[in-house]
């Protein structure tokens, strides 16, 4: 049975106070912290890299859900394993060798995830699903927080649910982008069970916002 998990994205937090922000996320009862890694190449923006993740690691027991928006992610897997990633999710569009890259993540003892940009079809991951613990459906174009949820992605989530059942698999389905107290209900109804939220959580009181999301999920 897949359980619902909330993953506040630290992209929307105060970068000068990661330790405090991590404590707030932990106190909110969130299962994950979502760490957005952007290289200024695969996506136009630059965020932070493995050294910053490593420096956060001693300050939190949260599951580190690392979303790599980087070109050729296979070149960075070792660094993020050493940094303490618990889940490493890479874009199908970012690697010429997605199958090998996912194998490498799992061989390192880290949970492997694959991400689809809004324009990328489900068929692009049909033959690698046995290798993943999580499929992330982008519900905005990656690179920036604070964008509007793209409702057409709900169909994509439903398609993945059907494919997962057909293959007898049990990976999590995560959504990322524009998740708030309204869109989380739509994503859950479509079949997602891991919910990333950046600006919604950090533009208010973290504990209160996460509690509201949880109420909607339990509602």
Residue 24 or 67: the one with the smaller Cβ distance to ligand DX5 is: 67
Contacts of 194 by beta carbon, 8 Å cutoff, 6+ apart: 4, 5, 7, 32, 65, 134, 172, 173, 174, 175
Query: Of 39, 65, 133, 176, which one is the catalytic site residue?
Result: 176
Residue 67 or 111: the one with the smaller Cβ distance to Zn ion is: 67
Tell me whether residue 181 is one of the annotated catalytic residues: no
* 143 appears as a binding residue in the annotation: yes
* 36 appears as a binding residue in the annotation: yes
Residue 100 or 151: the one with the smaller Cβ distance to ligand DX5 is: 151
Q: Which does 102 bind (CB under 5 to 8 A by kind): Zn ion, ligand DX5, none?
A: none
Tell me whether residue 86 is one of the annotated catalytic residues: no
At its nearest, how many Å lie between ligand DX5 and the CB of residue 136?
9
Q: Which does 146 bind (CB under 5 to 8 A by kind): ligand DX5, Zn ion, none?
A: ligand DX5
Query: Of 36, 39, 65, 133, which one is the catalytic site residue?
Result: 36
CA 40 to chain centre: 18
Question: What is each CA distance from 141 to 69, 87, 148, 188, in whole angstroms?
Answer: 11, 21, 9, 20
Contacts of 3 by beta carbon, 8 Å cutoff, 6+ apart: 193
Q: Which residues bind Zn ion (CB under 5 A)?
A: 36, 67, 176
Q: Which residues are annotated as a binding site for a divalent metal cation?
A: 34, 36, 67, 176
Q: Which residues are annotated as a binding site?
A: 9, 34, 36, 67, 143-146, 176-178, 198-199
Q: Which residues are catalytic?
A: 36, 176
């Amino acid at each position: 049975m897949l359980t619902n998990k909330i993953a506040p994205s630290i992209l929307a937090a105060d970068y000068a106070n990661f330790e405090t922000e991590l404590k707030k996320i932990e106190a909110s009862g969130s299962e994950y912290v979502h760490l957005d890694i952007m290289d200024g190449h695969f996506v136009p923006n630059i965020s932070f890299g493995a050294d910053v993740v490593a420096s956060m690691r001693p300050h939190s027991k949260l599951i580190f859900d690392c979303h790599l928006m980087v070109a050729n992610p296979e070149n960075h897997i070792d660094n993020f394993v050493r940094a303490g990633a618990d889940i490493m999710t890479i874009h199908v569009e970012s690697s010429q060798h997605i199958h090998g890259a996912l194998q490498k993540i799992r061989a390192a003892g880290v949970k492997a995830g694959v991400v689809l940009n809004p324009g990328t079809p489900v068929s692009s991951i049909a033959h690698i699903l046995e290798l993943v613990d999580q499929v992330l459906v982008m519900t905005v174009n990656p690179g920036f927080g604070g964008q509007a949820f793209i409702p057409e992605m709900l169909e994509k989530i439903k398609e993945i649910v059907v494919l997962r059942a057909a293959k007898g698999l049990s990976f999590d389905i995560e959504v990322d982008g524009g998740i708030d107290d309204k869109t989380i209900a739509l994503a859950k109804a479509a079949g997602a069970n891991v919910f990333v939220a950046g600006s919604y959580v950090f533009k208010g009181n973290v504990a209160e916002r996460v509690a509201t999301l949880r109420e909607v999920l339990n509602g």
